[in-house]
Structure 1
Amino acid sequence: MRADITLNGTGRSIEGPLLTLRRNVDIGLNEAVDVIGQDGTSRLGRVVALDDDSMVVEVLESTAGLALADMRLRVRGEPLTFPIGPDILGRVLDGIGRPVDGGPPIAAVENPRIDGEVLNPARRALPTDFIETGVTAIDLMNSLVRGQKLPIFSGGGLPHDRLAMEIATQARLRSDAGESFSIIFAGIGISYDTAANFRHVMEETGALAHTVMFLNMANDPSAQRILTPRYALTAAEYLAFGLGHHVLVVMTDITNYCEALREVSAGHGEIPSRKGYPGYLYSDLATLYERAGWMTGSSGTVTQVPILTMPSDDISHPVPDLTGYITEGQIVLDRVLDRKGIYPPINVLPSLSRLIDQGIGAGFTDADHPALAQQLFATYSKAVRTRVLASVVGRDGLTEIDRQHLDFADRFETDLVHQDGRRDLEDSMETAWALLRTLPGSELMRLSDAQIERHLMGDIPEPEPQDD
């Protein structure tokens, strides 16, 4: 509830987005405030530090034009909240939930806190069922499961933005139970060109009708960048646990979020940890990722696909390293595949979906899907090792089986991983069976005899009768 308390003449200093003020009112940590300048313009802020005599307010907008002598502070008496309602679908918002699409304000039905409610772990159900992204390397071999958090590890210059757009526009549920499916797209620290491209693609494909877009620009204050994913996840939780939707949250770029967190932490004077990031980076990321899940008693789910760029392609960097500890797998984009012209350049060997067994197989996708995925992984892994051997002894020094594996690796990348448009799971599986038909049955150890007979032997022509 808003507290109509206005503080005048309490300012002590302004350093970037941080205001230090004399504390002369009962106020709590993370409480929301309005910072009002001489021209009457209100800027949103929150209390980030306090003691008996002073408090520090983090302004979430530009502090240009603020003067200590003329500044006023209005205390709201509550943490940051997000007024939200069902008509949020189809809207484009800025990083802190304000419409930027020229439409009316959102008609608020609820006003939840952006840091989320404390959930009883006993209410969490095991994520299950399948979300089809239209990307073969994900759907077939590293499947996304409702309620899962499956990050994409990319690098500078790799086409992760294009992949994010395709997942956001192509993803769908496979069941025919009449369930509602929604997308939350959060762009964190993105350029104007990228933001415009995202909006254009969403509008052209019609996906915007069931999507909410949060766009935080690269020139927005770093303090605001920290809140963008929290506003996005608050909207996702409302749609999932309030309205019963299955919600897919695509967030890019988490590395920009972590860089903003490092900058703000340094501004607070906190002791840095590895590579200058705050020591609480792990727990801070967990407050975002752990908001995905499937809750007992709710028909909706929140699924996350956070995208992050690895500085210098270093998967041991703190951001991907800590992300890997919290999430249930990773999709890894590969620079070598990108240079070969493979799109999306997903390297399936270091990629992993730890919950794939909960979302594929009989009742979810296809009874033969798990065995097919395992066979593809095993065969491609062997083919990659054969490539290393061929680089030493040459192709002519290999056995016939090894040469077949070399050819399989090339076709695996160009025919299966590479794709020009959306590919549903049935098409992906048929392409995979066609690849396996190029290998002898003795190499298909992960498939049963019945599966080989059913999928790989049916197209072999009968021998023509010989003339007497």
Structure 2
Amino acid sequence: MDRKAANFVHSQAVSRDYISQPRITYRTVSGVNGPLVILDDVKFPKYDEIVRLTLPDGSQRTGQVLEVSGKRAIVQVFEGTSGIDAKNTTCEFTGDILRTPVSEDMLGRIFNGSGKPKDKGPAILAEDYLDIQGQPINPWSRIYPEEMIQTGISSIDVMNSIARGQKIPIFSASGLPHDEIAAQICRQAGLVKLPGKSVVDSDIDNFAIVFAAMGVNMETARFFMQDFQENGSMENVCLFLNLANDPTIERIITPRIALTTAEYLAYQCEKHVLVILTDMSSYAEALREVSAAREEVPGRRGFPGYMYTDLASIYERAGRVEGRSGSITQIPILTMPNDDITHPIPDLTGYITEGQIYVDRQLHNRQIYPPINVLPSLSRLMKSAIGVNMTREDHSDVSNQLCSYTSDCLLFELDSRGSIKNTY
């Protein structure tokens, strides 16, 4: 694409944020409930429409229409509702949906949960503005995930190999080193060089990582930033950070902004993108908070009944598309409350994804790192990522032998109470 065509595409992308028709400003806020603002007497409100709220002090906030009932609109405010005055707050309906600016220059940068730079660097010159909900992919156009992405962790690469385009979660729990494992994967991840493939296909410049952290504290956020910057992996990482003191509602859009960026890098820039999302439990908690504010009928353990569909709208954005050489591989990380794998969050995640990597507390207590238990771990697409012309001809045999050896090493002994004791 020459410079003239590039300037035209950029101007078209920017102009989509502006509507020539006059906008109507409302002062009809009838109530504030948690992260939600309720407006009455709105003329033709639209679902998912972006709303600009201007507070009495002149500050502006952004919201999105969550529910429409006649002339009433319920708006979720991304920056929180603290300080909103029902009488003096003005609301402007833009007529547009929530879009995020995307560019290849986003690699090596740090953004907040709303996609705004927070590394004190220059503003990103957007190459396009994309809907954060993503574009629907025709199932017929999807390609079966093949070829392997290496993580540098032997228990994953050898016994639970990950295919390009796969979605496989890490099941962890509070107090376990899932943050360290995620940082290690970012340091060591890369493409496996395949025989017969071009050098460009396995080149490091053809691989990128999109990392989104939701609800993390300052210490964890500082750990990720320092680790990526000190080991040199930051240049291939696009980092999104939603902190624990940020508005809860922001956690709902953070993974979608990250995945929209990944889709641009994969399908427009032809890169193989690894997306790491942590912690999906914080995302589900935010979803439950919004559902409670809307006074919806709760489901299991208070989570909304549509949580399965909502999680699927995130996980199913991984994959490969016919006609594009790029791919999106997802590794969502979630913490199981009370180490309960039957909790709704890991339970529903397991139905959607293609396997799981299980972080074991017993192994962690024995100072084993990474404490990945290979027996309950599973990669359902491993068979399409290993073998001849993929990794090694004997990869499957080696994996089976190690799994058998691990099983034989589990000694079951009867303790004094007659119960079964599992020792490694």
Same fold (TM > 0.5): yes
CA distance in structure 2 between the partners assigned to 1:99 and 1:376 by the alignment: 45
CA distance in structure 1 between the partners assigned to 2:310 and 2:199 by the alignment: 36
Match of 1:67 in 2: 85
Matched, 1:178 2:204: no
Contact 1:148/1:293 (8 A) holds in 2: yes
Contact 1:45/1:57 (8 A) holds in 2: yes
Matched, 1:31 2:49: yes
CA distance in structure 2 between the partners assigned to 1:205 and 1:313 by the alignment: 32
**Which runs of no fewer than 5 residues in structure 2 stay unpaired?**
1-15, 417-421
SS of 2:38 mapped into structure 1: strand
Match of 1:5 in 2: 23
Counterpart selection for 1:107 from 117, 125, 139: 125
Match of 2:412 in 1: 388
Where in structure 1 do 4 or more consecutive aligned residues deviate above 3 Å?
1-4, 389-392
Match of 1:261 in 2: 287
CA distance in structure 2 between the partners assigned to 1:315 and 1:340 by the alignment: 21
Counterpart selection for 1:123 from 114, 136, 141: 141
> Which amino acid in the other structure matches residue 336 of structure 2?
M
CA distance in structure 1 between the partners assigned to 2:338 and 2:308 by the alignment: 21
SS of 1:56 mapped into structure 2: strand
SS of 2:100 mapped into structure 1: coil
SS of 2:146 mapped into structure 1: coil
Counterpart selection for 1:273 from 288, 299, 308: 299
Match of 1:138 in 2: 156
CA distance in structure 2 between the partners assigned to 1:119 and 1:69 by the alignment: 44
Give the drift of 1:383.
Answer: 2.3
CA distance in structure 2 between the partners assigned to 1:120 and 1:260 by the alignment: 30
> Which amino acid in the other structure matches residue 216 of structure 1?
N
CA distance in structure 2 between the partners assigned to 1:329 and 1:113 by the alignment: 29
The percentage of aligned residue pairs carrying the same residue is 45
CA distance in structure 2 between the partners assigned to 1:342 and 1:211 by the alignment: 28
SS of 2:128 mapped into structure 1: coil
Give the drift of 1:307.
Answer: 0.3
Q: Which has the larger radius of gyration?
A: 1
Give the drift of 1:27.
Answer: 2.3
CA distance in structure 1 between the partners assigned to 2:344 and 2:233 by the alignment: 34
* Within-5 A mapping of 1:247-396: 247-384=273-410, 387-389=411-413
* Within-5 A mapping of 1:87-106: 87-106=105-124
CA distance in structure 2 between the partners assigned to 1:260 and 1:233 by the alignment: 18
> Which amino acid in the other structure matches residue 185 of structure 2?
I
Q: Deviations over 1:25-76 (max 9, x none)?
A: 2221111111111122111110001111311111000322221222111222
Match of 2:187 in 1: 169
> Which amino acid in the other structure matches residue 9 of structure 1?
R
Give the drift of 1:239.
Answer: 0.2
CA distance in structure 1 between the partners assigned to 2:136 and 2:107 by the alignment: 25
CA distance in structure 1 between the partners assigned to 2:275 and 2:257 by the alignment: 12
* Within-5 A mapping of 1:18-57: 18-57=36-75
Contact 1:6/1:72 (8 A) holds in 2: no
Counterpart selection for 2:100 from 63, 66, 82: 82
SS of 1:82 mapped into structure 2: strand
> Which amino acid in the other structure matches residue 388 of structure 1?
F
CA distance in structure 2 between the partners assigned to 1:271 and 1:255 by the alignment: 20
**Which runs of no fewer than 5 residues in structure 1 stay unpaired?**
393-405, 411-468
Give the drift of 1:391.
Answer: 6.0
CA distance in structure 1 between the partners assigned to 2:122 and 2:54 by the alignment: 24
> Which amino acid in the other structure matches residue 30 of structure 1?
D
More helix by share: 1
Matched, 1:192 2:218: yes
Match of 1:160 in 2: 178
Q: Deviations over 1:68-103 (max 9, x none)?
A: 222111222111110111211111000010000111
Contact 1:169/1:207 (8 A) holds in 2: yes
Give the drift of 1:346.
Answer: 0.4
Contact 2:279/2:332 (8 A) holds in 1: yes
Match of 1:442 in 2: none
SS of 1:12 mapped into structure 2: strand
Counterpart selection for 1:207 from 233, 236, 247: 233
> Which amino acid in the other structure matches residue 121 of structure 1?
P
CA distance in structure 1 between the partners assigned to 2:84 and 2:341 by the alignment: 42
Matched, 1:148 2:174: no
> Which amino acid in the other structure matches residue 380 of structure 1?
T
Q: CA RMSD in A?
A: 1.5
CA distance in structure 2 between the partners assigned to 1:24 and 1:261 by the alignment: 26
Contact 2:148/2:163 (8 A) holds in 1: yes
Give the drift of 1:389.
Answer: 4.1
> Which amino acid in the other structure matches residue 31 of structure 1?
E
